[in-house]
Amino acid sequence: METLSRKIKIVLVLGFSVLFSGHTEAFSSIVANNHIVRDKRDKAIIQDHSEIDDLRRTFERGADVTATCLGCHEDTGKEIFESQHWTWTCPTDGSYHHGKSGLTLNNLTISPVPNKFACYNCHISYRWEDYTLSLDSPENIDCLICHEQTNGLYDAYRKDWNPYLNQIAQNIGRPTKRNCGVCHFNKSGGDGILRGDLSSKLLDAERGQDVHMDRTGPNMECIDCHITTNHNISGRCYGNPATLSASENKQRYDCTFCHNQNLHGSLKKMNDHTNRVACQTCHIPLISRDLYSRIWIDYSKAGQKKDGKTMLVKDKHGNKQYSTNSGEWKWAKNIQPEYLWFTGGLNYTLATDRIDPSGLVKLNGTNADYHTPQSKIYPFKVHRAMQPYDKVNNTMVLPKFTDRDKNSGAYWIDHDWNKAIKAGMAEAGLQYGGEYGFVETEYIYPIHHSVMPKENALKCTNCHKSGRGRLEKLKGFYMPGRDRSIIIDYGGAICVLLTLTGVLFHAGNCFSIAKRGK
């Protein structure tokens, strides 16, 4: 009883505190925050590299430029070797299994490990051509891909040799979104194909496309949020357990690093959502808004040829529908994200993990629900596929798709899965039982970019409605507007109806008695 009265007291106090103070904790203006970010960026002046004598010479190889860079930036080589851009593994994972160069795999390109010939295009190193990555030679670092400011002069010649190296080497600066976009907009082989929230459209974005990169507004760069210290870039690394704060290892950051959680204005119900609903959920209502992104690939249908020649069928939008190399593709635009509870950590199925091929295989998952501490609802792009697996060992496989060597067994050359898997697994140093099948898989991408302004954000009833809301699939918790108790609803309605009938009967009786009395 004592505790109950205490609770009632607490509630009463809280009720009054809400009335008089509102939810007005240090309400901060986003505009002010944007200026802080821009000020910081503009004040940090980079030396004009065209004035440096060492760079005013003719370079023959990219590695020569790097050697010159390292002459002044002495520690940078070491920094790069420790960075995610070099290791392609998650730094929080001591086993080095998580990451592009590890044992994780996706269902789009599956894994770059046995496909260095093509996939290592995006690795920040020279020498990817002969794919003997010398990880201990700092001269192999490609500084220019991130730091050149010639607006495209470098991309086309992104190789060890480039006719414009001299000019490029003198135009050095802090990475812009164009630098990042060279790889990140074109992930998985084309503009905007993979994630649906990153594409070249961000280079010249309007407010409705990306509220932060709006060219007439904040016009922010990637690195304004992906804060970088000594080449350690904060950003994607969904290790598990999740790293939640910047101080932990500088790998994660959050909207709230700049934005106050109460920024919707005091007393707004929206603020009350921020403990369980991520900003992204409401502010990224649709993905792939400008370009199509792929949502399905069926590798089991690959290999068909027409008159002995490989096929490539495109639809009217120019999207690949079928190719001999990779089977059937499906595309979508203005995709409604799928919603999941998420703590910032993802669990991955490794190429060595046993799978259950009788059902859908989730290659990664949030492993969180309503009850998980600190979990919030986030939007995800889900990519589904039919992809090969090892029938004997019940593991996923990493096939070899491409190679410079024509006799390597690569699928795009021979169109023989068994050969391709055998070659791929051998190159990755993994066991293959010799027999393959196809299994349906799912791979999820947390969505954080292409953030839309308030006028485009989701409305209450996108979720708070019965039957057709966006969060219909998320179960295990009560959500006002969506959930109801049939017993209470019908019971309550019956009580009201019974009262009305009772009252009417009573009135009728009174009336007839009164009439008779007269």
Partner 1 sequence: MDCEKGSHPNSIYHRLCYWIQVGLIGFMIFTGFEIHGWLSFFGFEPAIRFHKMGFYILLIVWPVTIVVSFLFKKHHSNSSEAPIGLIVFLLQFLTGIIYLNYNYWETSGLYISLRSIAYTHTLGGFAVVVYAILNIYRSCVLPKLNRT
Residue keyed to tokens 């249908």: 301
State how beta strands 293-298 and 312-314 pair. Answer: unpaired
Long-range own/partner contacts, residues 260-266 (CB < 8 A, 24 or more apart)? 260/25, 260/26, 260/27, 260/28, 262/23, 262/24, 262/25, 262/27, 263/27, 263/28, 263/30, 265/27, 266/22, 266/23, 266/24, 266/27
Note whether 350 and 402 are within 8 A (CB). Answer: no
In the bound state with partner 1, the residue whose beta carbon lies nearer, of 269 and 316, is 269
| Site residues (vs partner 1, CB under 8 A) | 7-8, 10-12, 14-16, 18-19, 267, 269, 272, 275, 459-461, 464-466, 477-478, 480-481, 483-485, 488-489, 491-493, 495-496, 499-500, 503, 506-507, 510-511, 514
Shortest distance, position 37 Cβ to partner 1, whole Å: 28
Q: Least separation, in Å, of the C-beta of 17 and partner 1?
A: 9
Cα R_g (the chain), whole angstroms: 29
Residue of 162, 149, 154, 150 lying closest to 64 (CA atoms): 162
CB of 317 to partner 1, least distance (A): 37
Which CB sits closer to partner 1, 60 or 369?
Answer: 369
Between 359 and 476, name the residue whose CB sits nearer to partner 1.
476
Residue 7 CB, shortest distance to partner 1, in Å, is 6
Q: How far is the CB of 279 from partner 1 (least distance, A)?
A: 16
Cα(74)–Cα(205) distance, rounded to whole angstroms? 37
- Residue number with CB closer to partner 1 (459 or 473): 459
CA gap 122, 85 in Å, rounded:
9
Q: Which residue has the tokens 């309550």?
A: 492
**Which of residues 312 and 497 has its CB atom nearest to partner 1 in the complex?**
497
Residue closer to partner 1 by CB (options 20, 31) is 20
Q: How far is the CB of 211 from partner 1 (least distance, A)?
A: 21
Least Å distance, CB 471 to partner 1, is 14
Residue 228: count other Cβ atoms within 10 Å of its Cβ: 15
- In the bound state with partner 1, the residue whose beta carbon lies nearer, of 309 and 468, is 468
| Shortest CB 19 distance to partner 1, Å | 6
The answer to whether 355 touches 438, Cβ cutoff 8 Å, is no
Beta strands in 214-315 (DSSP E): 228-229, 232-233, 293-298, 305-306, 309-310, 312-314
Beta-sheet pairing, 395-396 with 320-323? unpaired
* Residue (416 or 472) nearer to partner 1, CB: 472
Chain center to CA of 102: 19
